[in-house]
Amino acid sequence: MSLSLVSSAFRDGTDMPSRHTCDGQDISPALSWSGVPPNAKSLGLIVDDPDAPDPAAPQRTWVHWVLYNLPPQSGELAEAVTSHNLPKGTKLGTNDWHRNGYGGPCPPIGRHRYFFKLYALDIELPELPTPDKQHLEKAMEGHVIEQAHLIGLYQRS
């Protein structure tokens, strides 16, 4: 069985509910995963938007959430998860708002794609001082056993 990532809030390739965006409560969607390889020691999660600022002329990838050292057996993240109720051992990185934790979609123009990327790693990563996406990806290099992704869409009214 291969690693898979799903959300009870939206299906892969469909619109995300506004409660998970800056137009709503800006809370993280519930996520769950299965098929974690038996030799996985930890998981990493990166959520980003490759369509910023305009899907017709993207200029950068905007990072919304960075987590690492999620326990492989945890199986899920609850909706509206915060640093206080993350699975034990999970560490937070920094998003592009220079904050720890989830920052929901808030696209200035057009329909954007939000990639929720889950990585199964063969190690538990050492303590990283609030890494951004680039630093976490560097730390994960050579340790990714398997990965899964889920894509949500959002366009402001």
Q: What is the domain-level CATH number for residue 37?
A: 3.90.280.10
Contacts of range 86-91, beta carbons closer than 8 Å, 24 or more positions apart: 89/42, 89/124, 91/67, 91/125, 91/127, 91/128
Tokens of residue 47, six digits: 């959520």
Mean pLDDT to the nearest integer, 31-50: 98
* pLDDT score at 157: 85
C-alpha span between 36 and 120 (Å, rounded): 7
Could you give the angle at the alpha carbon of 142 between the alpha carbons of 150 and 81, nearest 5°? 40
Q: Is the pLDDT of residue 1 over 90?
A: no
* pLDDT score at 37: 97
* pLDDT score at 122: 98
C-alpha span between 140 and 123 (Å, rounded): 9
Name the residue range of residue 56's domain. 4-154
pLDDT tens figures, 132-150: 999 999 999 999 999 999 9
Domains in the chain: how many in total? 1
Mean pLDDT of the chain: 97
